[in-house]
Amino acid sequence: MIFWKTKRVVLTGGAGFLGRVVKAQLEARGCKHIIVPRSAQFDLRKTAAIRKLYAQARPDMVIHLAAVVGGIGANRENPGRFFYDNLMMGVELLEQARQLGIAKFVAIGTICAYPKFCPVPFKEDKIWDGYPEETNAPYGLAKKMLLVQSQAYRQQYGYNSIYLLPVNLYGPGDNFSWESSHVIPALIRKCVEARQRKDKYITVWGTGRATREFLYVDDAARGIVLAAQKYNSSEPVNLGAGFEISINKLVDLIVKLTRFRGDILWDATKPDGQPRRCLDTTRARLEFGFEAKVSFEKGLKKTIAWYEQNLL
């Protein structure tokens, strides 16, 4: 708690799904100076805007959560935008932090940075062993450059930046937009709306054979805050829950929890995305004592309840 009381933190993406929870956890630990830049005031792709932000905020630390992100459909439709916006934000935020002597930079990467056919569970030292899954590759590679930059800056300048790799997140306050949501909020919305309309079936992308791992947003935020306080190396660190579930079984579970009674139709003309995803979480446990606490079914129930109470 004492660690955070005097810290000034710039939290990019602090008004977003994950950012709001990170902000709340920092506040709970006594951090009184959290600066959340808004895109209307600061275009984080631009050097001048970042320098203005840093001059006004005078931070000791930057936690960079901001990202232009979406599900498979959004990635397929916006590969150029997802690459450029995410690359430029990361490169300039870290470079200006180094130039201005900001003590620490916490970079949030993505599981999309891993190779398409990475052995399961994904270990951090396998991150360079192949090209990412094609639909997410521009986004994944843009965020992966933060790892290169972090390690290069530590080697040349002795700059303290860290790089975290969270698995797919979910939880209350998630993005439920049809255009850009990820699989869990998209399925929850689809099932709840179909239940209300008394539809006889829903259609789901892919074959259902792909697997995923999911981390509840509160657990992810706790991992980020722990690493920001305790971890000081540029070796990448996975943040995950350490389990793997097929999309088939995920759909069955969400159908059950949302009380949808219809059938499931699979559209195999649509992509599955990466065949398998599951992280090795050993390094996070050993380096800063992080382990996920919220069970998957409990987290899903909370997420469904939030959606039904707030967005219906």
Tell me which residues are annotated as active site.
139
Write down how long the chain is: 312
Within a 10 A sphere around the Cβ of 306, how many other Cβ atoms? 16
Pairing of strands 245-246, 211-212: antiparallel
Nearest to 188 by CA among 251, 246, 249: 251
Q: For 105, left (φ over 0), alpha (ψ -120 to 50), or beta?
A: beta
CA distance 225 to 227: 5
Handedness of CA 91, 238, 225, 74 (dihedral sign): positive
CA distance 273 to 81: 19
Residue type at 5 in one-letter notation: K
CA distance 292 to 64: 21
241-260 burial, b if ≥16 CB within 10 A, otherwise e? bbbbbebbebbeebbebbeb
Tokens 């965020």 appear where?
A: 143
Q: Residues 99, 156: contact at Cβ < 8 Å?
A: no
CA distance 254 to 235: 36
